[in-house]
Each structure stands twice: as structure tokens, then as C-alpha cells.
Amino acid sequence: MANLLHVKNLSQHVYVHKGWLSRQRFAAIDDISFDLNMGESLAIIGESGSGKSSLAKVLAGINKPSSGDIFVNGEALKYGDYTRRCRLIRMIFQDPTSSLNPRSNIGRILSAPLMLNTGLSTEEQQQKVVATLKLVGLLEEHAEFYPNMLSSGQKQRIAVARALILSPKIIVIDESIAALDVSVRAQIINLLIELQQRFAISYVFVSNDLGLVRHFSDKVLVMQQGKAVEFRPTELFFTQPEHELSQRLLNAYQDAFRK
């Protein structure tokens, strides 16, 4: 199969307790299928509560899917098989400030995935950490720093470095770019684009900013109440949106406000 990532009929059901004995089944994501090639980016958009973040978490292996399969390079990924999964799919979390441990320095934050998943010696780990820091535009000395000594843009770079350090094929980005300041955000987007061109990494990213989606993605997946209502290439999505929700989103963005 040519596709790098192939998701087939993926769903996740959550039980909401209603009273003592009764509970209600609720589909966070419902029967989603899509393909993604190497070096492509997929944007997931939709309204809040539509299951965008749930899908990202299931892809990254944080939540367990109720049914359906995820294939990477034609091989199925099982839930719980972290050693294999984290070499293929890594995730950048929403808020870099709270996802970095404030008590350990950057060097330790970055070498933790190496220690857990690879058989590298301490020196090799150090070299890898330094190489990755340089890759994301930071200096060797930053390995000694603690997260509180860095600015928000630098923290985001550390988050990118942590995702990159195991050289994964796919990186899942959960709305982490939106919270940054405009001028810093442009730098991070540039960094992600450069990395994609160099290493042919695929991105799956959740975003509300359609301008960014148009710029950055190759395919767009529109979600509504857990279902994928539209999945098509970005160019087509922006010129001929099919579903009523996508048309509404596009209209709302195009004139977020016009007098």
C-alpha cells in the first residue's frame, strides 16, 4: 500500500453516567476513515465538541479506540504497543507550558523518550539531544535550561524537538500553534514546513484557523458530532465546499466581521 497512514472505520465510544445504574453511550468519534501519504499534512477542523481532539488522541495512542484500525505502512497498530507506536506517531500537546515538566531540565525532557524506547548509550543520547536542539533552531546550552527560563516560542520549539527526537513518520499537533503570538507563530509554522520538506514527515493537525489550514495542509477533514462529514484535498475544499457545515465555517472565516 502506498499510503503511510490508513485509518479504517475508527470509532471511540464514551459512556456517560446518568444516575445510579443507567448510562448512555456517546460516540466521541464515529466511523472515521481516511488516508494520508508521506510528507502530507491533514487538517482536522470542526466546531468545538465535534471530536477533533479525541481523534488526535486516539491516533497518538492516548485513548483506546472502541473499534476500527489504524495502519501505518500497511501494518496495524495496536492500542498499548507504545514502543512501536511512538517511533511512528508522536504528539505535540496543546499547551507547551504545562506539558513540559517544570522540575527537569530540557536535556532530561528530551532524553527521556530515548532512554525509554531506544538502546542508545548515555553519550549517544546526549549527541542526539544536541542535534535535535540545533534542528529546531536552539543552542546546545539550552539543554541545561529549565522550562521556566524559556519564552513561549522556545518552549514550543522544545515540544517540537521532543516529538522529533525519535524520528517519527507522523506528528500529531493538537491546536498547539493557535495559542502563540502572531510573530512567534510564523516562526514555528516555518520550522514545521522546513522539517516536512527535509524529512518528509506527515502532520495531522487540529486547528480553528482556516487561513493556517489553507496554507499548511494538503487534505482537510471536517468533523461534526464525531462524524467525518467531508474529506477532500485542501484546494477543492476551499473552492467547492460540499457539506453545509464547511460552507458555514468558510463563510464565518471569510467575513469574521464585515460591516
Partner 1 sequence: MALLDIRNLTIEIDTPTGKVKAVDRVSLTMAEGEIKALVGESGSGKSLIAKALLGVTKPSWTIKADRMRLGDVDLLQLTTKQRRKVLGHEIAMIFQEPSSCLDPSEEVGKQIEEAIPCHNIKGGFWRRFQWRKKQAQALLHKVGVKDHHKVMRSYPYELSDGLCQKVMIAMAIAGQPKLLVADEPTTAMEVTTASQILRLLHKLNKLNNTAILLISHDLNTLSDLADTISVIYCGQMVEVGRSEQVVGNSHHPYTNALLSSAPKFSQPFDRKALLPGLPGSIPALQHLPIGCRLGPRCPKAQRKCVTQPKLKKVKGHQYACHYPLNIEKKVTVNG
Residue with cell 496543546: 94
d(CA 181, CA 198): 26
Residues 143-172 binding partner 1 (CB under 8 A) are: 151-154
User: Which of 10-18, 71-79, 101-109, 209-217 is the region at the interface with partner 1 (rule: CB under 8 A)?
Assistant: 209-217
Q: What's at 191, amino acid-wise?
A: L
Do the Cβ atoms of 242 and 220 come closer than 8 Å?
A: no
Q: What is the 3-state secondary structure (H, E, C) of 158-180?
A: HHHHHHHCCCCCEEEEECCCCCC
Rounded least distance, CB 41 to partner 1, Å: 8
Question: Binder to partner 1 among 27, 38, 212, 229 (CB under 8 A)?
Answer: 212
Q: Residue 242, SS3? A: coil
User: Which of 12-20, 72-80, 116-124, 178-186 is the region at the interface with partner 1 (rule: CB under 8 A)?
Assistant: 178-186
Do the Cβ atoms of 29 and 10 come closer than 8 Å?
A: yes
Q: Residue 20, SS3? A: coil
- The H-assigned helical ranges of the chain are 52-60, 82-88, 96-99, 106-117, 122-135, 152-164, 182-199, 210-216, 234-239, 244-254
Quick check: 257 binds partner 1 (CB under 8 A)? yes
Question: Binder to partner 1 among 76, 131, 186, 200 (CB under 8 A)?
Answer: 186
Rounded least distance, CB 125 to partner 1, Å: 28
Quick check: 255 binds partner 1 (CB under 8 A)? yes
d(CA 141, CA 10): 43
Q: Which three cell numbers stand for residue 90?
A: 508522536
Residues 215-244 binding partner 1 (CB under 8 A) are: 215-216, 234
Do the Cβ atoms of 82 and 128 come closer than 8 Å?
A: no
Do the Cβ atoms of 234 and 211 come closer than 8 Å?
A: no
Complex with partner 1: residue 60 or 192, whichever CB lies closer: 192
Quick check: 19 binds partner 1 (CB under 8 A)? no
Rounded least distance, CB 51 to partner 1, Å: 13
Quick check: 38 binds partner 1 (CB under 8 A)? no
Say how many CA atoms lie within 13 Å of 221 toward its Cβ. Answer: 26
Residues 68-127 binding partner 1 (CB under 8 A) are: none
Question: Binder to partner 1 among 8, 108, 185, 232 (CB under 8 A)?
Answer: 185
Rounded least distance, CB 184 to partner 1, Å: 6
Question: Binder to partner 1 among 208, 227, 231, 232 (CB under 8 A)?
Answer: 208
Q: Residue numbers of the site for partner 1 (CB under 8 A)?
A: 47-49, 151-154, 178-179, 181-187, 189-190, 193-194, 196-197, 208, 210-212, 214-216, 234, 248-249, 252-259
